[in-house]
Amino acid sequence: MQERLNVAVQKKGRLFDGSLELLKAGGISINNGKDQLKASSHNFPLDVLYLRNSDIPQYVVDGVADLGVVGENLLVENDADVEVIEKLGFSKCRLSIALPKEAPYNDISDLKGKKIATSYPVTLQKFLRERNIEAEIHVISGSVEIAPNIGLSDAICDLVSSGSTLFKNGLVEKEVILKSQAVLVKNKHLSKDKEALIEQVAFRIRTTLKARKSKYILLNAPKDKVQEISDLLPVLKAPTVLPLALEGWCSIHSVIEEDKFWEVIDQLKAAGAEGILIVPIEKIVV
């Protein structure tokens, strides 16, 4: 009987959609039903377990789940003994210390003797200890940002993405403790058969992530500018150069990371590039 992988994902919240979209993009179809705690793929030996986000690291450590999609912040907080396979690029946030906007603050020494409310006491305590800051940590779960407004704390330590929640509650971000994003993790003690399946899943995810960061670029250029323009393009290997019907001109095709395109667009135009097209890529296999 063929082995099947158990993959733990958040049952609801910001990690849920990103996890299932990534599996789907990798060609793994999940038979999802409403309020299911477990769902199976019909075209890959894989089952999805829908769990509370905070429980996922321990489920992977215990071997209940072979793989898990979880925020890096939880791995740090739980000191989870798992292996990170891939950073997934979504659900990016940061764990930060914030204070009421009217509170005086010059540097981290102003936290001495303060009461800080948080759902991440282990990470916060380590951060403060490394900086020789003595502060009182008040552990609460949920609605941390309201703590200073009701006199429960002087400051908070919580996850921040856009910062809008802090703004609405009159708080200002002062210290970033760590940056986090969704990561794919695995149990460290798996059979060879499961390791082989995981490598297949990881390969599919990597091709999808590579494509998301890259674009296909097509442009026209004078033949005598081909080398100069090619040198400007960060590519996988080398660009494809095709002759145009117009004498003395070529079409250059390549793959470029989207953020790097904006760094070189002016240089490409100055070198003689015309008719520049940027096209999305579905998959990249390297």
pLDDT score of 1 more than 70: no
At 12, give phi and psi (nearest 5°): -160, 155
Q: Which of 139, 98, 134 is nearest to 122 (CA)?
A: 139
| 242 within a domain of the structure (yes/no) | yes
Does one domain contain both 175 and 98? yes
**How far is residue 80's CA from residue 67's CA, in Å, rounded to a whole number?**
13
Does one domain contain both 118 and 167? yes
pLDDT of residue 34: 57
| 286 within a domain of the structure (yes/no) | no
CB half-sphere exposure, 256, CA atoms < 13 A: 27
Does one domain contain both 84 and 14? yes
Q: Which of 44, 47, 45, 42 is nearest to 59 (CA)?
A: 47
Rounded to a whole number of angstroms, the distance between the first and last alpha carbons of the chain is 32
Does one domain contain both 64 and 186? yes
| 224 within a domain of the structure (yes/no) | yes
The tens digit of pLDDT for each residue in 135-181 reads 999 999 888 999 999 999 999 999 999 899 999 999 999 999 999 99
The tens digit of pLDDT for each residue in 86-102 reads 999 999 999 999 999 99
Does one domain contain both 85 and 97? no
Does one domain contain both 145 and 186? no
Determine the 3-state secondary structure of 195 from DSSP: helix
pLDDT of residue 256: 86
Higher pLDDT, 259 or 55: 55
| Residues 86/18, Cβ–Cβ less than 8 Å | no
Does one domain contain both 82 and 224? no
- In this prediction, residue 14 has a pLDDT band, given cuts at 50, 70 and 90, of confident
| 157 within a domain of the structure (yes/no) | yes
Rg of the Cα atoms in the chain:
24
Q: Which of 136, 157, 180 is the last residue of a domain?
A: 180
pLDDT of residue 236: 65
What six digits make up the tokens of 56? 């996922």
Q: Which of 232, 285, 273 is nearest to 256 (CA)?
A: 232
User: What sections of 214-257 are H helices per DSSP?
Assistant: 226-232
Does one domain contain both 59 and 105? no
The tens digit of pLDDT for each residue in 27-63 reads 999 876 556 789 999 999 999 999 998 899 999 999 9
pLDDT of residue 152: 92
Domain of 238 in residue numbering reads as 214-280
CB half-sphere exposure, 31, CA atoms < 13 A: 10
Q: What is the pTM of this model?
A: 0.84
Q: Which of 180, 201, 225 is the last residue of a domain?
A: 180
| 221 within a domain of the structure (yes/no) | yes
The tens digit of pLDDT for each residue in 188-243 reads 999 999 999 999 999 999 999 988 888 899 999 999 999 999 888 866 677 899 99
Does one domain contain both 82 and 186? yes
What CATH code is carried by the domain that includes residue 134?
A: 3.40.190.10
| 119 within a domain of the structure (yes/no) | yes
Q: Which of 17, 26, 14, 60 is nearest to 202 (CA)?
A: 26
Q: Which of 157, 180, 203 is the last residue of a domain?
A: 180
pLDDT of residue 212: 87
| 206 within a domain of the structure (yes/no) | no
> Residue 191: is it exposed, middle or buried by C-beta count within 10 angstroms (0-12/13-18/19+)?
exposed
- In this prediction, residue 264 has a pLDDT band, given cuts at 50, 70 and 90, of confident
- In this prediction, residue 283 has a pLDDT band, given cuts at 50, 70 and 90, of confident
| 197 within a domain of the structure (yes/no) | no
Tell me 1's DSSP state: -
pLDDT of residue 176: 97
The structural domain count of the chain equals: 3
CB half-sphere exposure, 221, CA atoms < 13 A: 28
What CATH code is carried by the domain that includes residue 240?
A: 3.30.70.120
